[in-house]
Amino acid sequence: MAEIAETQGATTATQQPLVMQIVVRRDLLDAEGWGVGPLMAQVAHATSAVLHETRERPETQAYMDDLKNMRKVVMQTTDQASIEKLAKLLDGCDPPVPYHLWVEQPENVPTCLALSPNRREPKVKKALDKSGCRLWKG
């Protein structure tokens, strides 16, 4: 069965639905002793930032226009090196994939990366896979 997506009010059976992938460093919880609340704040920072930065993109506008059907996927990555690798892979795509890497201050620690709303293009999946991202496991 083809997935249905809303695009500025028009429904198309051939497109993947818009989704926002959110990647959080798992080591901050497991090894660094961060609490769940502070990690949730990092997610809020990164998602707010990427939506603001990409607010003129048609995909972001369509995503924001359909509040009841927003899709998000929370993923984990192992450490700082893996989240920085993901950022480099996304920058290296042609064209680059828009994202925001939240860097907590004043510690200067990269904590969370949120991708702008997208349709799960192969280049996005490849970058997530190559950097070791997996679904968040509680």
Give yes or no for a contact between 55 and 116, defined as CB atoms under 8 angstroms apart.
Answer: no
Angle between helices 80-91 and 122-130 (to 10 degrees): 150
Please give the tally of structural domains in the chain: 1
Range of the domain at 125: 32-135
Within-domain flag for 65: yes
**What residues contact 93, with CB distance under 8 A and at least 6 apart?**
123, 124, 127
Q: What is the pLDDT along the chain (138 residues), one digit of tens a residue?
A: 344 444 444 444 578 899 999 999 999 999 999 999 999 999 999 999 999 999 999 999 999 999 999 999 999 999 999 999 999 999 999 999 999 999 999 999 999 999 999 999 999 999 999 999 999 987
What CATH number did the domain enclosing 96 receive? 3.40.1490.10
Domain-embedded: residue 4: no
